[in-house]
Amino acid sequence: MTDWILRHTGLSAVPGWQNIAKVDRVLTVLALLLIALFLIDADQGARSLSFTLRSLIETAPYLIGSIAIAAAATASGADGVIARAFQGRESRMILFAALLGGLSPFCSCGVIPLIAALLAMGVPLAPVMAFWLASPVIDPAQFVLTVGIIGMDFAVAKTIAAVAIGLAGGFVTMMLARGGLLADALRPGIGDGGCGGSKVRVAAPVVWKFWHEDERRRKFAKSALSTTIFLAKWLALAFFLESLMLAYVPADHIVSLVGGSGWLPIFTATLVGVPAYLNGYAALPLVGGLMEQGMGQGAALSFVVAGGITSIPAAIAVFALARMPLFLTYLGMALVGSMTAGLLFQMLAA
């Protein structure tokens, strides 16, 4: 068991300092950043470490549930059934995935194991991208909070923007894949390789009570452990980077750059929102306050949508699963989609 864990965490069994060269790159980067922060600013280092651990603990129930479902689907053979639910015309799958993403209760962290599971099941990349783009923008709880802080029109516009960007991203991905521009878009070990084609497993009976069979129990444990290790290291890095963004780039300073009305603030809001992290819930009172001071509704929508899609956990999740061409496609759809949504909303609200 120890040897298996060492292999799947990126560690070798070689004793001593030789292990350093074998450590997983993500864990190495996280450790070096943490050490550097403690040397530069020990107080912030302690706060960032606390923030990272607290965030992992807070998201653990959602992740454990998602990981358990994905591992159980693999062990029981139900993953093939789920994959077949996405069969049919790819355009119909994209529509379904965008609607599901815009209305689902998944946060940008909780959706990661679901995305990885869908890709592993052979679901085509285009509908997965549609879900990927739509899901982080809004969820039912955030919709209610948005209505209370900003208003129903803004909440509805944000939901429509999420679904529309998901649809656009799905169809763009489908066209790029058919043109051969996203060949081998996924990192090794993710999905079935290639792009846009589905490799749905051969139909087989589903063994729902998989825990009665030794082989299926081992399959469940292996799938759950490997997914947990994969998610834990990437989310730890994501939450650590988030703590640095919140500490050194205050959210109110970011939002203050996008005040005013007209198309230029919308453009600025999108550019600022794409690289910047601003929690969807924390953004609402700040954006609501700026709107009361004259910030245009279009700029406000562009900012919260762009920031939601490219939040650090969501963006790092995409980067962990996808090669650079697909990652850039993801960012490009966030940029263009958020700006377009803001411009249209500004025109309709005028």
Q: What is the pLDDT of residues 284-303, one digit of tens each?
A: 777 777 777 677 889 889 98
- Listed in sequence order, the residues at least 6 apart from 253 whose beta carbon sits closer than 8 Å to its beta carbon are none
Q: Does residue 305 surpass a pLDDT of 80?
A: yes
Q: Report the share of the chain in percent with pLDDT over 70.
A: 72
Q: What is the pLDDT of residue 66?
A: 64
Measured CA to CA, the distance from residue 225 to residue 222 in angstroms comes to: 5
Q: What is the pLDDT of residue 282?
A: 62
| DSSP 8-state code for residue 210 | G
Q: Which amino acid is at 176?
A: L
Q: Name the helix (H) or strand (E) containing 85.
A: none
Q: For residues 190 and 116, is the Cβ–Cβ distance under 8 A?
A: yes
Q: What is the pLDDT of residue 301?
A: 92
pLDDT digits 0-9 by tens, 58-89: 778 767 776 787 678 778 876 556 556 566 68
Q: How far is CA 173 from CA 82, 90, 323, 332, in A?
A: 22, 11, 14, 11
Q: Does residue 195 surpass a pLDDT of 70?
A: no
When pLDDT is cut at 50, 70 and 90, the band that residue 35 belongs to is: very high
pTM above 0.75, yes or no: no
Q: What is the pLDDT of residue 110?
A: 58
Q: Does residue 113 surpass a pLDDT of 60?
A: yes
| Residue 316, both tokens | 């790092």
When pLDDT is cut at 50, 70 and 90, the band that residue 124 belongs to is: confident
Q: What is the pLDDT of residue 197?
A: 37
Higher pLDDT, 298 or 8: 298
Q: What is the mean pLDDT of residues 175-181?
A: 86
Higher pLDDT, 205 or 164: 164
Q: Does residue 257 surpass a pLDDT of 90?
A: no
Higher pLDDT, 251 or 52: 52
Q: What is the pLDDT of residue 157?
A: 94
Could you tell me which of 346, 242, 349 has the C-alpha nearest to residue 302?
A: 346
Q: What is the pLDDT of residue 170?
A: 93
Higher pLDDT, 2 or 318: 318
Q: For residues 260 and 291, is the Cβ–Cβ distance under 8 A?
A: no
Q: Does residue 241 surpass a pLDDT of 90?
A: no
Residues pairing with 322 in the sheet: 186
Measured CA to CA, the distance from residue 289 to residue 283 in angstroms comes to: 10
Average pLDDT, the chain: 77
Task: Considering only CA atoms, give the Rg of the chain.
Answer: 21
Q: What is the pLDDT of residue 18?
A: 43
> Comparing 25-39, 127-141, 328-342, which segment has the lowest mean pLDDT?
127-141
Q: What is the pLDDT of residue 281?
A: 62
